[in-house]
Amino acid sequence: AWYFSGRERTYAAYLQGKYEFLVGNVWVDGTVGARLALTRGKTSAIVFNNEFVPGEASYKWDDLLPSFQARIHFTDKFLARLAYTETMTRPKYSDLRPGAIVTRSNNGPSPVLDANGNPVLDANGNPVVSPPSARTINVDGGNPDLVPLTAKNYDVSLEYYFNKDSYVSLALFYKDLWGFVSTYSTAEFDSKTNTTINNTKPQNAGEGRVKGAEASFQYALDFLPSRFSGFGVQGNLTYIDAKNAF
């Protein structure tokens, strides 16, 4: 059985301000701010009934995450939204566990059989045996060296409101990503001992990006009798194109 424990403390500070101004006859407002996130953690692992490589590790991450959002009111019904934000997602506790479970398979020598399934004997009457086959060592562990997934997010949208409950909009978005956590396996072969060592653990992937567009609408059926008030129609269509290095 695998047992691991961890303790993590997070500290956060926020600063945000609002702004508004006129550019000609166009009203612009929005927010600008930042979040400071500090993470401190320690993790250890114990396992029973298995060969085990124990471990204990600590980690810390310091992230400054700015944000900017703006609304541009071209008219009372037509507006644009612009946004830039940075975000982070911490790894799962289970992926940060130190140490590893080691399992071995070692097929020893086996007797050579003839076509009838009987042991083949040498000149001295002893069974002929085949040499040991290849050995395999599997190492399955966590990775306390993981870091959070970070993203730089760019968003822009255009929105037109027929009334307070009905609108149509078109949005574009783009995200620069680094550090998706996935489980990877690597194999090393030692020809001297005829042994294959398989290492499996979570790791941060490389750079990635997500881009796409979304069209949506909402229409309130306010012409219906009062007993049906609140009914409406909604719909959206989203296109996403994602790419990530491994």
| Angle 9-101-198 from CA coordinates, rounded to 5° | 115
What span, in angstroms and rounded, lies between the C-alpha atoms of 97 and 55? 8
What span, in angstroms and rounded, lies between the C-alpha atoms of 123 and 153? 77
Single-letter amino acid code for the residue at 4: F
**Residue for token digits 């124990």?**
54
More confident residue, 31 or 196: 31
Whether 48 and 39 have beta carbons less than 8 Å apart is answered as no
What span, in angstroms and rounded, lies between the C-alpha atoms of 194 and 182? 29
Closest CA to 233 of 218, 245, 211, 246: 218
- 27 pLDDT band (50/70/90 cuts)? very high
Q: In this structure, are strands 55-73 and 2-23 parallel, antiparallel, or unpaired?
A: unpaired
Whether 12 and 35 have beta carbons less than 8 Å apart is answered as yes
Query: Has residue 18 got a pLDDT over 80?
Result: yes
Whether 122 and 61 have beta carbons less than 8 Å apart is answered as no
Backbone φ, ψ for residue 122 (5° rounding): -85, -175
- 38 pLDDT band (50/70/90 cuts)? very high
Contacts of 133 (CB under 8 A, 6+ apart): 107, 194
For residue range 133-188, list pLDDT tens digits in order: 667 888 888 899 999 999 999 999 999 999 888 999 999 999 999 999 999 998 88
Single-letter amino acid code for the residue at 113: L
**C-alpha separations of 113 from 117, 123, 129, 132, 180 in Å:** 5, 15, 9, 15, 52
pLDDT-above-70 percentage for the chain: 92
Burial of 218 (0-12, 13-18, 19+ CB in 10 A): middle
**C-alpha separations of 38 from 52, 65, 218 in Å:** 32, 11, 40
For residue range 217-227, list pLDDT tens digits in order: 999 887 777 77
- 214 pLDDT band (50/70/90 cuts)? very high
Chain mean pLDDT for the chain: 88
Mean pLDDT throughout 21-44?
95
Number of Cβ within 10 Å of residue 243's Cβ equals 10
